[in-house]
Homo-oligomer: A and B are copies of this chain.
Amino acid sequence: MVCGIVGLGLMGGSFALATRDYFDSIVGVDINPSHRETALRLGLVDAIARVKDLREVDVILLATPVRGIVATLKELAQLELPQETTILDFGSTKERIVKECPPQIRPQLVASHPMAGKEYSGPLAAIPDLYQNKIMVICNREESGELHLNRALEIYDHLQMEIVYMDAHEHDRHAAFISHMPHIVSFAIANSVLAQEDKNAIVALAASGFKSMSRLAKSNPQMWGDIFIENRQNLIDAMEAFEAEWKKATQMVQNREWEKLKEWMWEGNKLYEIM
């Protein structure tokens, strides 16, 4: 089997590394010439291709920002792909993708989101075990054809991933809480320290706690900005939920309501009972 990967960044590149022994060959598409070059040089892909060449492959992975995925799906619909070609997409939000996928290729698409990532991006950041033991969310499975769903499951099994099925709308809401809002929080922490005159002396004391809380602020603003644009309303909801808790904490500290603050923290401890 031949695989075509559109988007040779962290996600596409790591997928290539992890499926080297699964596919007979892998071709790659990327609008960024330096990504193409790096992906070839690192051996992530055997050849560089264009979208129209994807008529010849068995499995297509779309691993670009959501806007690019939607555009590529429209291009693919024009190509008269064989009906046996399976299309996977790893878009960060799913509702727009499943809605805007052209109906003639919708059964071929398995809308997926691997809950895996790193604060670094691009083909150089690709690692073979990015997906191992992570969760793969498959959205609106009933809209995918059986052949394609089964092929996707086989590939995800090869990646040693655990499958969770979810409605696309629900997925996007959850992703805002579990990933998008925490990214904004991390950037806000980074910027609050950088705004201080003595920022150098402050970060000289950074230990593991601060590193945990500021790590996501290393993430790529272009990529994450696009995710926030796509998921704006869910992000706003999650940010409001954070803000409600933040306000409670602020008031308790201001008013010296220490016992109440400790109770609020005991509540927070419970997260790890369900996670």
Task: Tell me, in angstroms, the Cα distance from A99 to B27 when the chains sit together.
Answer: 68
Chain A contributes a number of interface residues (CB within 8 A of B) equal to 92
When C-beta atoms are compared, the residue in chain B nearest to A200 turns out to be: B274
List B contacts of A32 (CB < 8 A). none
Determine if B225 and A261 form an interchain contact, defined as CB atoms under 8 angstroms apart. yes
List B contacts of A193 (CB < 8 A). 177-178, 241, 271
Given A215-B212, A244-B192, A266-B221, do A205 and B175 touch, yes or no (CB 8 Å)?
yes
Given A225-B265, A258-B228, do A196 and B241 touch, yes or no (CB 8 Å)?
yes
List B contacts of A217 (CB < 8 A). 265, 268-269, 271-272
Is A185 among interface residues, defined by CB-CB distance under 8 A?
yes
- Residues A215-235 near B (CB distance < 8 A): 215-219, 221-222, 224-225, 228-229, 232, 235
Segment of A33-41, A78-86, A248-256 in the binding face? A248-256
Determine if A268 and B191 form an interchain contact, defined as CB atoms under 8 angstroms apart. yes
Our pick among B164, B207, B239 for the contact of A253 (Cβ within 8 Å) is B239
Is A154 among interface residues, defined by CB-CB distance under 8 A?
no
Given A207-B179, A209-B182, do A253 and B274 touch, yes or no (CB 8 Å)?
no
Is A127 among interface residues, defined by CB-CB distance under 8 A?
no
Our pick among B186, B205, B239, B262 for the contact of A137 (Cβ within 8 Å) is B205
Is A117 among interface residues, defined by CB-CB distance under 8 A?
yes
Determine if A174 and B198 form an interchain contact, defined as CB atoms under 8 angstroms apart. yes
List B contacts of A205 (CB < 8 A). 115, 135, 137, 164, 171, 174-175, 178-179
Determine if B271 and A194 form an interchain contact, defined as CB atoms under 8 angstroms apart. yes
Distance (Å) between the CB of A102 and the closest chain B CB? 27
List B contacts of A137 (CB < 8 A). 205
Determine if A207 and B249 form an interchain contact, defined as CB atoms under 8 angstroms apart. no
List B contacts of A186 (CB < 8 A). 213, 268
Give the 6 A-B CB pairs with smallest separation, nearest first: A221-B265, A190-B268, A187-B268, A188-B245, A192-B241, A115-B207
Chain A positions near chain B (C-beta within 8 angstroms): 115-118, 134-135, 137, 164, 166, 170-171, 173-175, 177-179, 181-196, 198-210, 212-219, 221-222, 224-225, 228-229, 232, 235-236, 238-239, 241-246, 248-250, 253-254, 256, 258, 261-272, 274-275
A217-B268, A221-B268 known, 11 other contacts, Cβ within 8 Å:
A174-B201, A178-B210, A179-B207, A184-B246, A184-B249, A191-B248, A194-B270, A213-B213, A214-B275, A229-B258, A239-B250
